[in-house]
Amino acid sequence: MIWFELCQVRYSFQNFFSLMVYTGKYPQQNQMQKNISNPVHLEQVLTYLMNNISNETAFDPSTRMFATGEIKFSRKKTIYGLVQCTRDISDESCSNCLQSAFGELQECCFYRQGGIIVSRNCNMRFELYRFYNASSFHLTLPASQGARWKSWMLVVVTCIPLAVLAVLIGSCAVNYHLRKKRRQIDDDKSQKALLHELASPTGVAITQEGELVSSEDIHFMSLSTIMAATDDFSESNKLGQGGFGTVFKGMLEDGKGVAVKRLSRKSWQGLEEFKNEVILIARLQHRNLVKLLGCAIEGQEKLLVYEFMPNRSLDFFIFDPEKRSQLDWKTYDNIIVGIAKGLLYLHEDSRLKIIHRDLKPSNILLDHEMVAKISDFGMARIFGENQNTANTRRVVGTYGYMAPEYAMEGLFSVKSDVFSFGVILLEIISGKKNSSFYLTENAQTLLAYAWRLWNEGKEMKFVEPVLMESSLTTQQIKKCMHIGLLCVQEDPADRPTMSSVVVLLGDESILPLPKPKQPALAMGRIVQQIADPFPVTNPSVNGLTVSSLSPR
């Protein structure tokens, strides 16, 4: 799928008509927009505008699921908005899609002078200039009503006796306290529900006071212990920021170094990630999986405590020319084998069958001996014993590492993780990032470039020169490149299982391997055009690579 300013094109080998799968994307254009001077007022006005035109788009048949609108933002400025749904989906699906897009728009752009969210089934955009032609359905929402309302209120307030005003204030105060108490009750219920969700699958007991008791599998810590370890979440201890929270370095009382993930306090996705991590990692133990030392849940604070990895993550080395040269091929080979064994454990050897769904270099941590450990199980899913595939309506993960059947149709399986592993393998060998490779070397992606060179017998042109130490090393790298290409084939059935990959990586002999078919659908980028032709860009939000899909 590819987006332009005036159209979008999509094709698939599966029927996607009438199926709404939301996958909102942020074009890099959003990051280039200037900040607004009054974001609070912008949020109020923009919410009013977008809600109105979204409702008309979804539920008024005359709009044909497309509407524009405008509203005065200030004396000199007007906000222009546009929303659209594909006409194959239902009214309800259109409304749900636009609600999700509006949530994404709030996160990225409510403090900017413009913003756009594109997805498979709906698009949403606003600017401080008219960016569209007149449409058959256009709302002009008057701001003057607000001014007249304020004038009327001024008259009323000045005329109402002070006694009535006091009653109003008292009523508001009572109402506020009642709502606050009701919200606290709801929060307490949610807290108890979460505690029971955590306790049931992990075999953890809950006291009458509602506290979780540590078990053999999982250790619960107090918030005060973690705050002391991280120096009250000091900025100097901050290691990084992810989509669902912030990671801090800490030191426990016994001198043990830890990494603490502080999940977003009000994020529903952060809550889901917390439950996933605790329930999954409590049952997983493997040399190549990061170890969860404990967790804490108090009020809105949800914290995960991991073993500290002094050598950070794999992306820190493979995409930095200086750091990359610090490691030899033997070390990289051990890292590759470690990742493969960790995935094999998740897919076949653990008590559960688990699909990671977000395998990428930044989620491969390295300990003091450079042993690879897979981390971040917030998006992982458990499969039943005889289950081979699953489908989701909300695609999560990182574009550039997602298998095409998952990115485009929401279908995922163990072969989705195999695809991600293949991308990482090719990135290690080349020192290049798939998501930032677009249209370099006359190829759309790193995968297409690798496959072309392999077909031409020019594999060593693909390899980072610092890795080539000897003729033996060269043969090993060629074999790894071949395995990587087998993993990124378009048809999931053609990709090997991780058990086969581990066997191939460990086989010292250079046996004939199957010929890889052309790589999966190219992971391209969103293309935008404003007034003049705009260069192709690679959007990124919160440090996560977000790319669109385009045909090869």
Written as six digits, the tokens of 131 are: 């960016």
In this structure, the answer to whether residues 484 and 352 fall within a common structural domain is yes
The pLDDT value recorded for residue 28 is 63
**Is 358 tagged catalytic?**
yes
Residue 13 is assigned to a structural domain of this protein? yes
* Residue 53 falls inside a structural domain: yes
231 lies in the same domain as 272: yes
The CATH number of whichever domain residue 278 belongs to comes to: 3.30.200.20
* The predicted structure's pLDDT at residue 228: 95
Q: Is there a single domain that holds both residue 304 and residue 322?
A: no
Q: What is the dihedral of CA 381, 383, 388, 394, to 10 degrees?
A: -30
Same domain, 454 and 470: yes
Do 39 and 94 lie in a common domain? yes
Query: Do 130 and 115 fall into the same domain?
Result: yes
pLDDT at 307 (0 to 100):
92
Q: How far is CA 51 from the centre of its chain?
A: 25
Instruction: Give yes or no: residues 339 and 446 share one domain.
Output: yes
Same domain, 299 and 338: no
Residue type, 72: K
Pick from 149, 173, 202: which residue ends a domain?
149
CATH of the domain at 19: 3.30.430.20
Do 379 and 272 share a structural domain?
Answer: no
Instruction: State how many domains the chain has.
Output: 3
CATH number of domain containing 513: 1.10.510.10
Same domain? For 141 and 178 the reply is no
Q: What is the largest CA-CA distance in the chain?
A: 94
Distance set, CA 537 to CA 404, 408, 446, 518, 525 (Å): 20, 20, 16, 25, 6
Asked if the structure places residue 91 within a domain, the reply is: yes
Alpha-carbon separation of residue 543 from 48, 254, 262, 273, 538 (angstroms): 30, 33, 17, 18, 12
pLDDT of residue 333: 95
Residue 51 lies in a domain: yes
Give domain status of residue 302, yes or no.
Answer: yes
Indicate the residue among 129, 149, 169 that finishes a domain. 149
Burial letters 268-285, b for 16+ CB under 10 A, else e: ebbbebbbbbbbbbbbbe
Residues 103 and 188 in one domain: no
Q: Does residue 548 form part of some domain?
A: no
Residue 441 lies in a domain: yes
Asked if residue 259 lies in contact with residue 239, where contact means CB atoms within 8 angstroms, the answer is: yes
**What residues make up the domain containing 278?**
160-308
Tokens 């031409």 map to which residue?
456
The answer as to whether 528 is a domain residue is no
Of the candidates 349, 358, 367, 532, the residue annotated as catalytic is: 358
Mean pLDDT by 10 residues, the chain (552 residues): 79 80 70 78 87 89 88 87 92 90 83 88 92 71 48 48 68 66 50 49 44 60 93 91 80 93 68 76 86 85 91 93 90 97 94 90 94 91 79 75 87 94 97 75 79 93 85 86 96 95 84 86 37 34 35 34
Residue 146 is predicted with a pLDDT of 45
> Alpha carbon 138 to chain centroid distance?
34
Q: Is 353 annotated as a binding residue?
A: no
User: pTM of this prediction?
Assistant: 0.63
Q: Which of 549, 550, 548, 480 is nearest to 516 (CA)?
A: 480
Q: In sequence order, what are the beta bridge partners of 67?
A: 83
Query: Do both 374 and 454 map to the same domain?
Result: yes
pLDDT of residue 203: 47
Task: Give residues with Cβ within 8 angstroms of 524, minimum separation 6.
Answer: 2, 438, 444, 445, 547, 548, 549, 550
